[in-house]
Chain A
Amino acid sequence: MDTNDYIVQVQDLYYRYDKENVLENINLSIKKGSFLAIVGPNGSGKSTLLKLMLGLIKPQQGLIRLFGQDINKFKEQHKIGFVSQKANSFNTGFPATVFEVVASGLTKKLGLFNFLRKTDHVKIKQAIESVGMGKFLDRNIGELSGGQQQRVFIARALVSEPELLILDEPTVGVDVQNVNSFYGMLETLNKEKGITLLLVTHDIGTISEKVTNVACLNKNMHFHGSAEEFEQLKINDVSEIYGHDVHVLTHDHHHHGGGHLHD
Chain B
Amino acid sequence: MISGLLQYEFLQNAFLTGMIIGVIAPLLGVFIVVRRLSLIADALSHVTLAGIAASLLLEKKFMIFSGLNPLYMGMAFSVGGSLFIEKLRTVYKHYQELAIPIILSGGIGLGVIFISLADGFNTDLFSYLFGSVSAVSRADLWTILIISILVIALVVLLYKELFLLSFDEEYARATGIAAKTLHFIFIIMVALVIAASMRIVGILLVSSLMTLPVAASIRFAKGFKQTIFFSILFGEVSVLGGLFLSYYLDLAPGGTIVMIAVLILVLAIWLKKRAATRSI
Identify B34's interface contact among A89, A91, A105, A115, CB under 8 A: A91
A100-B224, A140-B222 are contacts. A94–B167 as well, Cβ < 8 Å? Answer: yes
B171 pairs with A113, CB closer than 8 A: no
A89-B168, A89-B169, A94-B34 are contacts. A108–B176 as well, Cβ < 8 Å? Answer: yes
Binds B, one of A25-33, A77-85, A213-221, A250-258: A77-85
Minimum Cβ distance to chain B for residue A97 (Å): 4
Mask, A142-177, CB within 8 Å of B = 1, is 000000000000001000000000000000000000
A56 pairs with B164, CB closer than 8 A: no
Contacts of B174 in A (CB 8 A): 54-56, 77, 82, 84
Quick one: closest A residue to B219, CB to CB?
A95
B173 pairs with A56, CB closer than 8 A: yes
Mask, A35-47, CB within 8 Å of B = 1, is 0000000000000
A77 pairs with B176, CB closer than 8 A: yes
A77-B175, A78-B175, A108-B176 are contacts. A95–B34 as well, Cβ < 8 Å? Answer: yes
| Contacting residues of chain A (104-130) with chain B, CB-CB under 8 angstroms | 104-108, 110, 112-113, 115-116
Q: Does B278 contact A (CB under 8 A)?
A: no
Minimum Cβ distance to chain B for residue A80 (Å): 8
Number of B interface residues at 8 Å Cβ cutoff, please give it.
28
Q: Does B249 contact A (CB under 8 A)?
A: no
A107 pairs with B170, CB closer than 8 A: no
Q: Does B183 contact A (CB under 8 A)?
A: no
Identify B171's interface contact among A82, A112, A140, CB under 8 A: A82
Identify B163's interface contact among A77, A84, A100, A138, CB under 8 A: A100
Mask, A86-108, CB within 8 Å of B = 1, is 00011101111101110111111
Residues in B lying within 8 Å of A, measured CB to CB: 34, 36, 157-158, 160-161, 163-164, 166-177, 218, 221-227
Identify A84's interface contact among B164, B167, B170, B226, CB under 8 A: B170
A156 to B167 alpha-carbon distance, docked (Å): 12
Nearest 7 pairs between A and B by C-beta? A97-B223, A77-B176, A95-B227, A89-B170, A108-B175, A104-B164, A96-B224
Show 8 A/B contacts (Cβ-Cβ < 8 Å), sorted by A: A55-B174, A77-B174, A77-B175, A91-B34, A95-B221, A100-B225, A101-B167, A103-B160
